[in-house]
Amino acid sequence: MKIPATIICLAIVVISYAQTAPLVSAVYSWDSTIAKTNSSKKIFDGSGAILATHAVNGVSIVKGKPYSVSPSAVEKFFIVKNGPVKVQLNDTTATLDRGSVVSLIPGDKLVFTAEGASAQLYEMDYTSIAAPNAERGKQAGGSFMIDWNRIAFKPHDKGGVRQFFDRKTVMLNRFDIHMTTLNPNNKSHDPHTHKNEEIILMMQGNAEMQIGTDHQKANPGDVVFLGSNVLHNLTNVGSVPCIYYAIQWN
């Protein structure tokens, strides 16, 4: 059952006023204990230039114990870290494997079930500082899921890219996600800044992140938060390609 839009908007206003401490630009690690239990653990939470509340959680699901996401006032985004998982999004069901994504707008329902012995997810929960726009999210297509295997790989001289989507949501004017493959001894780009905040989510390989004047290691499972106008770049310092998500919003 869907929650009425008026109730959702009121709840979002309440959540937004309870703005959390600003997020620090840094590399945050996946807790190794997450994969051992049926649980959800915080990787980071805080606020940013666009988001009043912003959390990334690591979720573990064991066979026979579905992970249900009830309708709420919070927008959510998931990446399958390890699968496969059966996904029931409202009235639609699909099986998704590693690298696939699910976007859930406020008021919709979602259930994940491990198809094997266990599965792991990244879960991003967020509310905007600006008033949410339910109609904008509806016109953009509402909640959706994307199978990683259906996204075309476009090679380039440093590796390649998979563009997942670039669209509006209830909370965001623009939500953009792509997956980069970066070959060894290459850097993503020269150190630069941009207004959009960004998450780099490491799926494979070993990298060094420049964050401002600091340099931090980023390994498989790590999540990097980059604030607005923070100088950054990524260098592959390993012997295999780095594969990572780049997620931006405004």
- If one counts every other C-beta atom within 10 angstroms of the C-beta of residue 163, the result is 13
The two tokens of residue 215 are 């340099």
pLDDT at res. 17: 42
182, 188 in Cβ contact below 8 A? yes
Q: What length is written for the chain?
A: 250
Domain 150-249 in CATH 2.60.120.10: yes
pLDDT at res. 95: 98
The Cα 234–Cα 200 span in angstroms is 9
- What b/e sequence results for 223-242 when a residue is b if at least 16 CB atoms lie within 10 Å of its CB, and e otherwise? bbbbbeeeebebbbebeebb
Nearest 5°: phi and psi at 34?
Answer: -60, -40
Residue 35's pLDDT band (cuts 50, 70, 90): low
Average pLDDT rounded to a whole number, residues 146-172: 97
The Cα 140–Cα 230 span in angstroms is 29
Q: What percent of the chain has pLDDT over 90?
A: 87
Residue 94's pLDDT band (cuts 50, 70, 90): very high
Residue 34's pLDDT band (cuts 50, 70, 90): confident
The Cα 168–Cα 128 span in angstroms is 13
pLDDT at 18 over 60: no
Q: Domain residue spans in the chain?
A: 5-141, 150-249
Average pLDDT rounded to a whole number, residues 106-126: 96
CA 32 to chain centroid: 19
Of residues 12 and 165, more confidently modeled: 165
In DSSP notation, 78-128 reads EEEEE--EEEEETTEEEEE-TT-EEEE-TT--EEEEESSSEEEEEEEEEEE
User: At 215, which amino acid appears?
Assistant: H
The Cα 134–Cα 117 span in angstroms is 37
Report the CATH fold assignment for 5-141.
Answer: Jelly Rolls (2.60.120)
From first CA to last CA, the distance across the chain in angstroms is 30
CA 93 to chain centroid: 21
Mean pLDDT score of the chain: 92
pLDDT, tens digit, 9 for 90 and up, residues 132-145:
999 999 999 999 99
247, 177 in Cβ contact below 8 A? yes
Measure the CA dihedral 102/106/86/121, to 10°. Answer: 60
pLDDT at res. 158: 97
84: cis peptide before it, omega within 30°? Answer: yes
Average pLDDT rounded to a whole number, residues 222-250: 97
